[in-house]
Amino acid sequence: MITVSDAFWKFRGRLETTDTEDATASQRQKKLRGQLDEAFDIVTDFLTGAYRRHTKTKPLRDVDIMIVLRDTSYLGMHPREILEEGRKALAVHYGAARVCTDRRAVRVDFGVEHVDDLTGEVISFDVVLAFEEGDHYLIPDDQLGIWVPTNPKIHAELATTANKDFDGQWKPLVKMIKKWNHIHGSPVEPSFLIEVMALELITGTWTGSHAYELRQFFASAAGRIADRWPDPARVGPDISDVLDTDPAKMKGARAALRDAEAACTKAILLDRQGRTGEALTAWRSLFGELFPAS
């Protein structure tokens, strides 16, 4: 039977995107750019967000593509208006049922029918319409009703540095925690908040144990989830604003993190007792079917 330590290393590998998935993401990006060229004057476009930072979980849904526009007259509109313009432009190609707007992006569903953790496909894209402003970008925020600044380059640089400083294990641990979040109904919202917290909570020297690092993160995160978590690039709104403004969601996130810490403690104890099969089952209940059962 596989050891728990080896199971984590195998789990780490399963969370990496494949060449096929990366090629599909690139193809989708080029196709979306071409389709939006019909409706907007585009300066440039690029894949961004967790996919570009290599902290995206599988299956690949809501992959971010930033479309940088030239016509700044849109900045005089309510953000909802440009999101609606983007929605209409893409609905022509994908159908109204598969294109919608959310807080900051236009979401395109590619109609993948069978979706599970092993799906080797890009399920959906979040199209972020943006404008250059100095060294950062402005993107629409329908919830706040304003154009908010963001700097994905700094976000990526911080993630790369954190990963290097933690012996290459920071990004894999973040992906594991994001997978837990997804499996358990996304109590920590948005998922980028996990990365932001990890910049402070996963530091120091890599212990060599994914299990112990995960338990430590969940314990620390449960105690600090109600802290203010600003944009790491120091240009946009707080990343914690979703939970900060919803006491019920905050309570649920704290409870979920405490439950995860308890589950880690139980799984670690089972492994110490030599009950490897039960320990693997316990970890799999936290992380889903990508975690090896044997």
Q: How far apart are CA 63 and CA 56, in angstroms?
A: 8
Residues 122/47, Cβ–Cβ less than 8 Å: no
Pairing type for strands 99-101 and 63-69 reads: unpaired
Q: How far apart are CA 87 and CA 245, in angstroms?
A: 27
In this prediction, residue 112 carries a pLDDT of 65
pLDDT digits (tens, 9 = 90+) for 246-271: 999 999 999 999 999 999 999 999 99
**Which residues have a Cβ under 8 Å from the Cβ of 117 and sit 6 or more positions away?**
58, 59, 179, 288, 289, 290
In this prediction, residue 13 carries a pLDDT of 94
**Which three-class secondary structure state does DSSP give residue 147?**
strand
pLDDT digits (tens, 9 = 90+) for 211-225: 999 999 999 999 999
Residue from 179, 186, 123, 163 nearest 11 by CA = 179
Residue from 47, 134, 139, 144 nearest 86 by CA = 139
In this prediction, residue 117 carries a pLDDT of 56
Give strand ranges (E) for the chain: 42-48, 63-69, 99-101, 106-109, 124-133, 136-141, 146-150
With a cut of 70, which residues of the chain have pLDDT below it?
112-121
